[in-house]
Amino acid sequence: MDEDAVTYAQAGVDTAEGARAVEAIKGVVHDTYRPEVVGDIGGFGGLFSIAAAKDMDDPLLVSGTDGVGTKLKVAQMAGKHDTVGIDLVAMCANDILATGAEPLFFLDYVAIGKLKAENVAEIVAGIGEGCKQAGCALIGGEMAEHPGVMDPDDYDLSGFCVGVVDRSKMLDPASVREGDVLIGLASSGLHSNGYSLARKVCVEGKTHYELRIEREELGGRSLQDALLEPTRIYVKPVRAVLEACEGAVHALAHITGGGISENLDRALPKSCAAEVDLGTWPVPAIASFVCDAAHLDEAEALKTFNMGLGMVLIVDAARADEVEAALTQAGETTYRVGRIVAGEGEVRYANDGKLYGFGAEA
C-alpha cells in the first residue's frame, strides 16, 4: 500500500467492529421472527411473505416511521441503552395500530458517532423486545458510523414499521358519531415526547448523582429512571379487543407529540368534537413533576405531554361495557374519560382545573 494511503479505519469507520456488532445482534433478531420471514439478516433487503393477508378480502398495507427524539440524550447521559429501542418500536407500531392494523415487520436505522458492538447490541436488544411486544418481526436495519459528524458517544435512532388491515375492518374517523364514549388506556410516563422541555427543566445543570437520587414525589424512583421508562406498546391488548368486539371500536388515537389536544382530534370527523373530562384518570408522577418544574398551566400541559393517556379508544356507547371487559381481560386498566359531541373536529375539556384530581372527592 502506498505510504500516503489513508484507510477507511483511519478515517474513523471500523468495518470489523460493524461486523462484530451484526454478529452480536443475530440472536435478538431471530427471536422476533414470524413464520412469514424469508431468509436471514445480511441481505440487501428484508423478505417477508404476504401470507398474513391471504384470508382478507381487501388487504391494505399500513406503514409508519418515527424516532425516539431527545429522550436519547437522557439515555446517553445515564449510559443506559437497553430501553430506547422499545420506545422506537412503540412510536411506530402504536401509530399503525391506530388504523386497526396488525404490525408485521420492522426495520431500524442506528446512526452512531463511534461504533461499539456492545452498545449497539444493547440498543438492538431493546428494539427486539419492542418487536416481541408488538408481535412484529425485525427483518433488517442499518448501522452507520458518522465520524466527524457526530460525537463518538452520540447516536440517533429511527424505525419503520409495516402492518396490514382488511379494508372492511379499518378504523376510520368517518365511523365516529355523536354519543360515542372515550375510553383511555394508561401511559407509562412521558413515553417519547416532550423531552426537549423535560431535559431543559429537569436535567440541564444536574449532576449524575442528582439524577440518580430516589425521590418521594416520584414514588421512590430516581428522575433518571422515571424519564427512561419505555413507551407502552398497546398492540396485543387492543388487537385482542378489536377481534373480540368486532365493530365496537370506531377509532383510535395514539397520544404522542402534541398531547391529548393535538392527537385526539386526528381521530375525529369534521362534524364531531371530543369532550374530555379532566380528573377521570391518574396523571403519572413524572408528568406532574415535569409540568410543575416548567410551571405549565393545564392547557399547555395537555398539548405537550400525554398526561397519563397513551391511547384513547372511541367506542360505540352501547358496547362500551363490553369493550372495557375485554380490555380488562387483556390486562388493561381502563378509564372513561369523555364522550363525542357535536362540533367541528376539535378537542374540548370539561372540569377545568381538575387535571390532577383523579380519585379526589367531588
Question: What residues in the chain have per-residue pLDDT under 50?
Answer: 362
What domains can be seen in the chain, in order of their start residue?
Answer: 8-169 (3.30.1330.10), 173-350 (3.90.650.10)
Q: Read off the pLDDT of residues 252-300 as tens digits, 9 standing for 90 and up.
A: 999 999 999 999 999 999 999 999 999 999 999 999 999 999 999 999 9
Cell of 6: 489513508
Mean pLDDT across the chain: 93
**What is this structure's pTM?**
0.94
- How is 131-198 classified by DSSP, letter by letter? HHHHT-EEEEEEEEE-BTTB-TT-EEEEEEEEEEEEGGG---GGG--TT-EEEEEE-SSSTTSSHHHH
Q: What confidence score (pLDDT) does residue 362 get?
A: 43
Phi, psi of 85 (to 5 degrees): -65, -35
| Cα-to-chain-centroid distance, residue 328 | 21
Task: Find the DSSP H helices in the chain.
Answer: 15-31, 71-78, 84-97, 117-134, 195-202, 208-212, 223-227, 235-244, 285-294, 298-302, 320-329
Give CA–CA dist 357/351, Å, rounded: 10
Local structure of 254: helix, strand or coil: strand
Contact at 8 Å (CB) between 84 and 231? Answer: no
Long-range contacts of the stretch 17-22 (C-beta < 8 A, 24+): 17/115, 17/116, 17/117, 18/115, 18/143, 18/145, 20/117, 21/115, 21/117, 21/120, 21/121, 21/143, 22/143
**CA-CA distance, 255 to 275, in Å (whole number)?**
16
pLDDT at 360: 64
Euclidean distance between CA atoms 306 and 221, whole angstroms = 20
Taking Cα atoms as reference points, which of 207, 353, 217 lies closest to residue 293?
217
112 CB-side CA count, 13 A? 24
pLDDT of residue 280: 98
User: Phi then psi for 154, rounded to 5 degrees?
Assistant: -90, 145
Amino acid found at 180? D
Asked if 182 contacts 314 with a C-beta cutoff of 8 angstroms, the reply is: yes
CA distance 233 to 339: 24
Structural contact between residues 68 and 18, judged by C-beta atoms closer than 8 angstroms: no
Cell triple for residue 16? 470489523
Task: Enter the C-alpha cell of residue 305.
Answer: 405531554
Rounded (5°) CA angle 28-129-216:
135
> pLDDT of 197-210, one tens digit each?
999 999 999 888 88
Count how many Cα atoms sit within 13 Å of the Cα of residue 210 in the half-sphere of its side chain.
6
Q: Classify residue 344 as exposed, middle or buried by CB count within 10 Å of its CB (0-12, 13-18, 19+).
A: exposed
